[in-house]
Amino acid sequence: MTAADDFVFASGISDDEQTAEAIAEVIEALRDRLGEGAVDFVAIFATPHHRGSMDLIAERVQAELSPRIALGATAGGVLGSGFELESRPGLTMLAGRMPGAELRSFCHHDFDWPTVKDDPAALREALLGIEAPPSDADEQTRAVLMFADPFTTPMVKLMPALNAALPGIPIIGGMASAAVEPGDNRLIYNDNVFDQGAVGLAISGPVQVDCIVSQGCRPIGDPGLITKAHKNLIQEIGRKPALAAVEAVASEADESERELLQHGVFVGRVINEYKDHFGRGDFLIRNIIGADRNSGFIAISDFVRVGQTVQFHVRDTHTAEEDLRLLLQTQLLHDPAAGVLMCTCNGRGQNMFDKPNAESTIVREALGEVPIAGFFAAGEIGPIGTDNFVHGFTAALAIFRPAPGDIQS
C-alpha cells in the first residue's frame, strides 16, 4: 500500500442549533469516511449560535479525533459537503490524514510581534522553527493556513512581514466573521479557545497544496500608469486626475457595463509589471473607498506608488461564477483532489449568486464529490503572484492531494 492510499480527507456539516448534537452529527460524518484512529489535522468553523460552546467543540474534537493539530474560527456562515449555511446555525469540519506530512502549528502567543515584525528571520523561526528557507525541496513548506480575528490582528502590517519571512509560500485562510465588536469572535487552537489574535499551520512534506484565489472581477477600459500618488490616494493616472480616468471609462462603457458600474467600480493593481499584456488574474483587486471631485483624487483600500499599472474592474454574478470555474478547470491537470478548504467572502454566497449552495456546487461540479469545508470570512487570505494578501469579495481555496510520485511508505 502506498502513502497516497492512506491520504484521505473527510468533511461534515450540521445545522443543529444544539451544539452537542451538531458535534455528534459532524464527527459521525467524518468517521464514516476516515474510520477509527487519529487524524493529522482538523479545521473547525462554527456560526455565532455555537460561540458559547467553542470550548466544548474543541474538547470533543480532541477526545473523538485525537488530531495532531486542530484549528478553527467562528463565522457568520459556514459551508461543507455541498451545503452553505448562512444566517442560521452551522458547524462544519474538514479532517485529513496526510502520511509523512510535517505539520507545525502556531498562534499569536508564539511570537513577540514588536520584535519580529521587522525581522524576517525571527518571524520565520517563530512560525516554522527555522531561520532560513530549506534548500531541500522535500523539506520546503507547501502552504500555510491561517485564521485571524480582524479586530486584534494587524493584517496591514502582518501580511508584508509574512511575505518577507516566507517568500513564495502561499498562505490561505480568512478572518473570523462572527462579531461586530472586539471580543466576540472565537479561535480554536488545539484544545485552547481564544477571543483574539491568529492561529495557523505550516504544511511540508509529501503533500501538494494548490491555492486558488477567485476575485470575481473583469477589467474594463485600458490599463493606465499611476503618475502621482500618496499612501492610499491615487492622484493621477496617465498625468490626468484619477477621477477623470474613472469618468472616461464610464463614458466609453456599453449599456451592460454602465449598469455594473452603478453597483461599484474597483481598482486592479498589476502584480507583475514585467508582463507585456495583462488579463484577469494579473491584478490585485481593491475597493474604491472615496473620491474628491475638487482634487480629482480617488482613495482605495491599499497603498499605491507612482509607476504602478492599474485598471478599473467591475464585478457581477456571471463573472464571479465564470472566474471560479475557469480557475478550477486547471485542477483537472492534476490527480484527483483529496480535500478542499474554502474561505469565501461573507458578501458572496446568496448575496452575490442569489441561490443557495452556489460556490460549493461549482467546486463539486469541477472536482467531483470531494470533501469540502470552510466559512464565510470578513476578509480572505490568499496569494496573487508570489505574495499573499487580504482580499474582499473573494473566494480562496486550498486543495489538498498527495504529492506527485508519492512512494511506498
DSSP letter string, 43-86: EEEE-GGGGGGHHHHHHHHHHHH--SEEEEEE-SEEEETTEEEE
Indicate the range of 22-26, 201-205, 350-354 predicted with least confidence.
Answer: 350-354
pLDDT at 169: 96
- The closest of 367, 377, 359 to 400, measured between CA atoms, is 367
pLDDT in tens, 210-230: 999 999 999 999 999 999 999
Residue 26 pLDDT more than 80?
yes
Q: How confident is the model at residue 139 (pLDDT cuts 50, 70, 90)?
A: low
Report whether pLDDT(2) > 80.
no
Domain boundaries, the chain: 3-215+320-402, 217-314
* Residue 4, pLDDT score: 64
- pLDDT at site 260: 85
364 within 8 A of 60, measured Cβ to Cβ: no
Residue 258 has pLDDT above 90, yes or no: no
Q: Quote the CA–CA distance of 344 and 380 in Å, as a whole number.
A: 7
Percent of the chain whose predicted confidence (pLDDT) is above 70: 96
Amino acid identity for residue 71 in this structure? L
Q: How does pLDDT run across 156-199, given as a tens digit for each residue?
A: 999 999 999 999 999 999 999 999 999 999 999 999 999 999 99
Q: In what order do the strands lie in the sheet with 339-345?
A: 83-86, 77-80, 372-377, 339-345, 395-402, 207-214
Per-residue pLDDT tens for 280-311? 789 999 999 999 999 999 999 999 999 999 99
- b/e 232-250 (16+ beta carbons within 10 angstroms → b): ebbbbbeeebbbebbebbb
**1 pLDDT more than 80:** no
* pLDDT score for 408: 38
**Sorting pLDDT into bands at 50, 70 and 90, what band is 241?**
very high
Residue 3: which pLDDT band, with cuts at 50, 70 and 90?
low
In angstroms, the CA 302 to CA 232 distance is 5
